[in-house]
Amino acid sequence: MTPCGENGAMPSSPRAVALAGLAALAVAMGIGRFAFTPILPLMQAAGTLDLVRGGWLASANYAGYLAGGLSAIAWRWSAVSAIRLGLAAVAVSTLGMALPLGVTSWLVLRAVAGVASAWVLVFTSAVVLGRLDRLPAPSRATLAGVLFSGVGVGIVAAGLLTACVLHAGDAARAAWLATGAVAALAAVLLHRGFDDGQPRATRAGAGASRLPPQALALAACYAAFGFGYIIPATFLSAMAREATAGGALYVLTWPLFGAAAAASTWLVQRMGAALAPRTVWAAGQAVMALGVAIPAFSPGIAAVVASGLLVGGTFMVVTMAGMQEARRLAGAAAARMLAVMTSSFALGQIAGPLLVSGLAAHGVGYATALEMAAAALVASAAFLYFLP
């Protein structure tokens, strides 16, 4: 699973470097961040969680993600240490969700998973993209797509693992155990996968380089993106289960979401390598807004599936384009800028599930939250398009 050299060092092959990053992001994001989405309906069916508390758990994970992004800004140890620690924490916190601990302990575990996933995303992106900078533009773009497709690959894996245990006696517990075991195995295999002999080469807080003048504007747009996409990204499986009246086919919506995410990064980089990252970012958010809005106006499983494909097919494209734009503008402060973007993204993500929980507590369904999310995406896409 991990393409390492004979001594455990990060391999010199650019493709192997990108594949190591793919595997790390698959664990950190596909499991640490998004395994909760397909497992949430199972916890609801078992009576251990309702929609309100489900929103709390989602927001706890995103609050942890915010804390991870902020701590990455001032991280003083090696990037390699952050990646290793993050992968281990994802495994432990995911396995812990299988224990009958109650909502309070689950909140802590989801927060830990959020911190860990932010560390892995920030430092893996900085390290791998830094290595790919040496390549010609077409190769660099293609392998960046390979790197970020890891999130979609992880989502597909988490969704399929959940589908495989759907008929187990305690399906939710079995799903947490299965995804946690995969995360633990990957953490072991990837332990030496990022040791290139220069462990302090990339630190988010290193140096005195200043952030670019447009940092605040870009961070605000990234926060709007986080708020806009997170509602379907968190509740897609739950919406699908409602639309199918509990039918088993709902479990396929999340793997479809992940497959669209995995394919989109590679396809966009292959087809649109000549486009400016900010242009890709704005266009991606516009398409995403359509996907977010569809279930609000057209109930039924077809609308949920269309939403999953459109949002899944754009959210990693926007993530990748936003990070590339941040790195392009920040120069020597790239890792620090990535941490700022990750933190702003997390603020938007925290707001989304809390909005759903607040509306649900007053008897309001998903539609209103989806409409607000789509509006935020359209507004920030327009702002990006006209930003000098």
Tens digit of each residue's pLDDT (9 = 90 or more) over 194-214: 754 444 444 444 444 677 778
- Going by C-beta distance under 8 Å and a sequence separation of 6 or more, which residues neighbour residue 333? 207, 209, 210, 211, 212
Write the DSSP symbol of residue 211.
P
Exposed / middle / buried, residue 287 (Cβ in 10 Å: 0-12, 13-18, 19+): middle
pLDDT at 339: 78
Q: Which residue has the higher pLDDT, 356 or 141?
A: 356
Largest pairwise CA distance in the chain: 59
Radius of gyration of the CA atoms of the chain, in A? 19
pLDDT at 268: 75
Residue 221, Cβ neighbours under 10 Å: how many?
30
> Does the structure show a pLDDT above 70 at 108?
yes
pLDDT at 3: 44
The CA distance from 271 to 267, in Å, is 6
Mean pLDDT of the chain: 84
pLDDT tens digits, one per residue of 237-252: 888 888 887 666 778 8
pLDDT at 272: 58
pLDDT at 328: 80
- Going by C-beta distance under 8 Å and a sequence separation of 6 or more, which residues neighbour residue 175? 35, 38, 39, 42, 161, 162, 165
Which of 263, 255, 250 minimizes the C-alpha distance to 313?
263
For the segment 72-77, the average pLDDT, to the nearest whole number, is 76
For the segment 189-195, the average pLDDT, to the nearest whole number, is 77
Give the least confident one: 3-7, 46-50, 131-135, 258-262. 3-7
The answer to whether 225 and 380 are in contact (CB under 8 A) is yes
Distances (CA, A) of 134 to 12, 140, 143, 195: 12, 8, 12, 18
Q: Which residue has the higher pLDDT, 317 or 72?
A: 317
Tokens of 23: 């595997």
For the segment 111-139, the average pLDDT, to the nearest whole number, is 86
pLDDT at 198: 42
pLDDT at 16: 82
pLDDT at 6: 38
Q: How confident is the model at residue 102 (pLDDT cuts 50, 70, 90)?
A: confident
pLDDT at 191: 83
List, in sequence order, the alpha helices (H) in the chain.
14-25, 36-46, 51-73, 79-96, 103-132, 137-164, 171-189, 215-243, 253-271, 277-297, 301-330, 334-361, 366-386
The CA distance from 91 to 125, in Å, is 20
Which of 32, 68, 202 minimizes the C-alpha distance to 133?
202
> Does the structure show a pLDDT above 90 at 284?
yes
Q: Which residue's entry shows tokens 């649109």?
A: 272
Which of 23, 278, 277 minimizes the C-alpha distance to 128?
23
User: For residue 195, what are the β-bridge partners?
Assistant: 9
Which of 110, 117, 93 minimizes the C-alpha distance to 53?
110
For the segment 172-200, the average pLDDT, to the nearest whole number, is 82
Distances (CA, A) of 156 to 7, 143, 371: 31, 20, 27
The answer to whether 253 and 240 are in contact (CB under 8 A) is yes
Tokens of 261: 């995410």
Q: Selecting from 1.10.645.10, 1.20.1250.20, 3.40.50.1860, 3.90.1150.10, what CATH number does the domain 14-386 have?
A: 1.20.1250.20
pLDDT tens digits, one per residue of 8-56: 444 457 788 888 899 999 999 999 988 998 999 899 888 888 888 888 8
pLDDT at 208: 46
pLDDT at 116: 95
pLDDT at 1: 42
> Does the structure show a pLDDT above 80 at 331?
no
pLDDT at 271: 66
User: For residue 9, what are the β-bridge partners?
Assistant: 195
Write the DSSP symbol of residue 31.
I
Q: Which residue's entry shows tokens 């990064």?
A: 265
Instruction: Tell how far CA 265 is from the center of its chain.
Output: 13
Residue 121, Cβ neighbours under 10 Å: how many?
31
The CA distance from 273 to 241, in Å, is 38
> Does the structure show a pLDDT above 70 at 2?
no
